[in-house]
Structure 1
Amino acid sequence: MRNIWAALALGVLLSVGSIAPAAAQQATQQADEAALLQQLKGAPVAGRVSIPDAKSGVLIQPQGREWRQTLEGPVKSVGGWLLVLTVVALAAFLAIRGRIKVEHGMSGRTIERFKGVERFAHWLTAICFVILGISGLNISFGKTLLLPVIGPEAFTAFSAFGKLSHNFLSFPFVLGVFLMAVMWIAHNIPNAIDVEWIKQGGGIFKKGVHPPAGKFNAGQKLIFWSVVIGSLALAVSGYILMFPFYVTDIAGMQLAQLVHAIAGIVMVAVILGHIYIGTIGMEGAFDAMGTGQVDTNWAKEHHSLWARDVTTRGAGDD
């Protein structure tokens, strides 16, 4: 028994003796790393390489830690809450205000609101954006929300497909935005009529209120410029990431990643509001992009100045 107890005691001493140096070594390494980063004061740690790509010699880039903390911290949390609150706000608005009806009812007569080429550009952009938005959100929130639901195999396949679609659909998306910008920019210049529209809340908060508006009202102009500016930010930052190191260094790519993530989340929130108004939020609104024809009563209530111009031109042609 004495021999057994002696052997056990010796084993414990050896274990403690082996753990203590390992812990001390780890603590020393952490202290050395912290001291090194403090000494460098944010400068990257680089060595020498024999290949043409000198960037491969960078071993440590301290700014990368700040970039990751920002992306995984405030950008992800604030962006996630923005999307949640947007959906909640739209649901609450629908519950309180209800669907915006055509006050005088549908007349049964229609006028052309958008031509075929305009609807093509809109739906090209819209379909691409939905896929880009879903695949982009999957990068930020997929591991937390989707992976536990569908499992690793399905999530891997979905993410791989999302990556490919995200890259290739960016080109028709940019084309669609460009076409809409060219066709509609003249109708989206802010003017004094927009101020009155805003003062009256666009007529969406009170029944029976129909502020005058041209082809696009102030709310639609806000959507238009948000899409144009947001898409520009997404395109520039996205192509910098798609073709790395062609125009910038690693710090520039990290900035592009932040811009791409923030612009993408804000764009998704804006488009959620646009989709709501264009579908369940307003009676008759979907027809504008569905068939290109809208009821004359809808046009007179929501775009009275435009409806008057179209009617006048039509009478002149007759």
Structure 2
Amino acid sequence: MARISTKFLTLLVAAFVGLTSVAVAQTVPAPGEPRAETGGAQTLADILRRQEQQKVDDSFRRDNIGNPETAAPIDGQLGTRGGVSDSEFWRAYRYNELDELGTVRASAKGPSGDTSVTSVVIQSTGMEWLSFRKGPLKDYGGYLLLGTIGILVLFFLFRGRIMIDGGKSGKTITRFIGIERFAHWTIAGSFILLALTGLTQLFGRFFIIPYLGHEAFAPIAIYGKWIHNNVSWAFMLGLVMVFVMWVSHNIPNRLDLKWFAVAGGLFSKNVHPPAKKFNAGQKVVFWGVVLLGASISVSGLSLLFPFEMPMFAATFHHLNDLGLPQLVGLDPLPTDLAPQTEMQLAQAWHAIVAFVFMALIIGHIYIGSVGMEGAFDAMGSGQVDEQWAKEHHGLWYEEVTGKPAYHDSHPAE
């Protein structure tokens, strides 16, 4: 009896070892293959690369989720889960390869292509977006704004306020009528509110909560978001009005080259290049406002209506067709984006454009206020001194008044 028991136990152990070796042979890489030393699991090198936010090829996990089509029958050996083990099931869960019934898709090998918002359970790019928002976006965006202010302070110390070289004449001329000033202040006022509330949302956690606490910051964030979402409509209205009224005056021409050649006289006294209603510097601001404003409006609408206005998959597709990523040495951009990824990209792009926009407007505010004598009057009362008009917009002054702006010689157009 003891001999029979020993033989039976030996056969049982042998069968177990045999079955185990078969299972291991199906999942463990052969010697010499990648990750053979870890039995197919991630290595220390994978972990270190991920911590350094470097790209890691995780196909060894993404593709290792079983395959019901080639599985053993559920009533056969190793078929109790239809060929999908617990670890494979959770990998499928991790990589969004479960169907609506919670079973692994029969054709699941890599991304399934199902990009409906309800299909995504775990989404890795959310952490990448959060790291970008808390790191490079906050840091470099802050450096850009502080750097812009610093440069303007140095410029003011070096150049001082740009005065009217010929002195005020005491006579004024209409520079902008009421509807033009309304459009300007609509876009200007709304932009300032949008900038302040946007910066509060981004920097509040780092610079407001430590001093005021979470309870005080909560209503600031809530009302700030409400203001940001609703004032955006006024900004877009002002943007359209400004574009319609001024686009014809901001078409580049050869006079702009003369203006750039002397930097508009910003660094020298008694230097006044010829200009019409808008000089080259103002044209740069105009097109910057229009293009950046349009871009930030589109991304803002995408955020106002979540998952309804995806932009980046189609944009990346067109960029790939043009070969632009490859031209700068990059791989083709991804075009199969989950809805959450679209939202994260929209928010990141919205913030990046906003920082560039704010830097541009800070410079514009400087010139239009403390930087240049008489400039604010153009948008304040709409009336500017005639001598100011002669010096900064001589050709426009001649068109409006019929009087010569230049005594020595008339600048050629």
TM (normalized to structure 2)?
0.64
Q: Please state if 1:79 is matched with 2:169.
A: no
Which position in structure 2 is the counterpart of 1:304? 394
Dislocated runs of 4+, deviation >4 Å? 30-38
Which position in structure 1 is the counterpart of 2:356? 266
Could you tell me which runs of 5 or more consecutive residues in structure 2 were left unpaired when the two chains were aligned: 1-40, 48-55, 64-93, 102-114, 311-338, 404-413
Structure 2 Cα separation of the partners of residues 218 and 40 of structure 1: 54
- Quote how far apart the aligned CAs of 1:147 are: 2.5
- Quote how far apart the aligned CAs of 1:97 are: 0.7
Which position in structure 1 is the counterpart of 2:280? 218
1:137 aligned partner, one-letter code? L
Which position in structure 1 is the counterpart of 2:335? none
Deviations 1:171-206 (A, max 9, x none): 111000100000000000111001110110111111
Q: Please state if 1:281 is matched with 2:371.
A: yes
Q: Please state if 1:163 is matched with 2:225.
A: yes
Within 5 A, what are the aligned runs for 1:141-160? 141-160=203-222
Deviations 1:48-68 (A, max 9, x none): 447xx9523322122223233
SS at match of 1:169: helix
Within 5 A, what are the aligned runs for 1:172-251? 172-248=234-310, 249-251=339-341
Greater RCO structure (CA 8 Å; 6+ sep): 1
Structure 2 Cα separation of the partners of residues 170 and 44 of structure 1: 37
Structure 2 Cα separation of the partners of residues 99 and 148 of structure 1: 39
1:171 aligned partner, one-letter code? W
Deviations 1:24-59 (A, max 9, x none): xxxxxx969979955228x94353447xx9523322
Deviations 1:139-168 (A, max 9, x none): 221211222333333322211111000000
The answer as to whether partners of 2:389 and 2:397 remain within 8 angstroms in 1 is yes
Could you tell me which runs of 5 or more consecutive residues in structure 1 were left unpaired when the two chains were aligned: 1-29, 314-318
Identity %: 47
How many residues were matched structurally? 283
Structure 1 pair 197/44, CA: closer, same or farther in 2 (3 Å)?
Answer: farther
The answer as to whether partners of 1:114 and 1:292 remain within 8 angstroms in 2 is yes
Q: Please state if 1:90 is matched with 2:152.
A: yes
1:304 aligned partner, one-letter code? G
Give the number of the structure whose residues are more often helix, by fraction: 1
Structure 2 Cα separation of the partners of residues 309 and 67 of structure 1: 53
TM (normalized to structure 1)?
0.83
User: 59, 66, 76: which one pairs with 2:128?
Assistant: 66
Which position in structure 2 is the counterpart of 1:119? 181
Deviations 1:108-166 (A, max 9, x none): 10000001000000001111000000011112212112223333333222111110000
- Quote how far apart the aligned CAs of 1:82 are: 0.3
SS at match of 2:402: helix
In terms of Rg, which structure is larger? 2
SS at match of 1:294: strand
SS at match of 2:169: coil
Structure 1 Cα separation of the partners of residues 138 and 232 of structure 2: 22
The answer as to whether partners of 1:113 and 1:293 remain within 8 angstroms in 2 is yes
Q: Please state if 1:45 is matched with 2:96.
A: yes
SS at match of 2:173: strand
